[in-house]
Each structure stands twice: as C-alpha cells, then as structure tokens.
Amino acid sequence: MKVQGFVHKYGNNVDTDVIIPARYLNVSGGDELKVHCMEDIDPQFASNVKQGDMIVAGDNFGCGSSREHAPLAIKCSGISCVIAKSFARIFYRNAINIGLPIMECEEAADAINKGDEVSIDFDSGKITNLSTGKEYFSQPFPPFIQDIIANGGLISQTKKEMDNNGKI
C-alpha cells in the first residue's frame, strides 16, 4: 500500500482537544467532524486539506483524552497518514482501530516541512520527501495491521473475516 500527498506540519503535544475540540464531541459523523478538525490550532486546515495529504508532527501526537473522534476527524478530512516522532498510546491504537495509518519516524518528522510532497510505502516503511529527494525509514506495520488499515479499520476487518468464514 502506498500513499502520496502534501504535508501539514505541527509541533509537539498536539492533543485530542486540538485535533477535535470538545465542543464538537456530540457530533459523531465523519462529514461533520472533518469540518472542525484542527480548527483551534489551524483554522484553515479544513478548507486547505486535500484528499491524500499528510500530517507531520513532533512528540506525543494525540495526547489527552481517549476519544476516537480525534483520529476519525483526521481520517475523514482526507489525511492519508500521520507521521510523528511519537504518539500517545491510546491515540495510536484508536488510529489503527479506525483505519488511519500512522508512522513513527523522528528523522522524517524533523526534516519534512509544511507543503513538502511526500510518498509512503507502508510495506517497506519507506518515507520519501519528493520535494527534497530525501528518504527515511520507519518500522512497517505487520501484515495483520496493514490488513486492518486497508480494510478501513478493525470493525470492517472483523466483518470481512466473518463474511469470509460464513458467520454473518
């Protein structure tokens, strides 16, 4: 699986309240959540993001509460991957559960800039900054996690497996 897009760059400790402000937690649909994604840190994010774009950030991305709304808002906004130095543990798992690809790569997070065009090969973990020609490597996800992401999340993956086994 490969993705390519332009970068929206943020710093350290981007918390779930910034990703999707608490005042919108009564909204659960992706089409509504994406309109408010990142609005408190980047008011133009929703109008500037394009399908396939990426977020690159520093340490502890997704810290704060355990709300699944945060990775869902990012995914529904069209972001194809989040690259960060590190992720909050609960955000990391929530992202995988809803099918949002995320990669930890300190070197890439430091070197990639806002507006750079980046491609990612999830099978190898190779991150290529097409704007500079530099390559970085992250630990690729194991095949079972790649399947979860490719199938749109854990629930979709489970339904597919149950359908294939004749259990639904």
Q: Percentage of the chain with pLDDT > 70?
A: 98
The residues with which 72 forms a beta bridge, in sequence order, are: none
Q: For residue 166, what pLDDT is reported? A: 64
Residue 6: pLDDT band (50, 70, 90) is: very high
Per-residue pLDDT of 110-131, as tens digits, reads: 999 999 999 999 999 999 999 9
Q: For residue 167, what pLDDT is reported? A: 61
Strand order in the sheet with 54-57: 102-104, 81-84, 54-57, 2-9, 117-121, 126-129, 135-137
Q: Percentage of the chain with pLDDT > 90?
A: 74
Q: Which ranges constitute the DSSP H helices of 13-127?
A: 16-19, 30-36, 45-48, 69-76, 89-98, 106-111
Average pLDDT value over all residues in the chain: 92
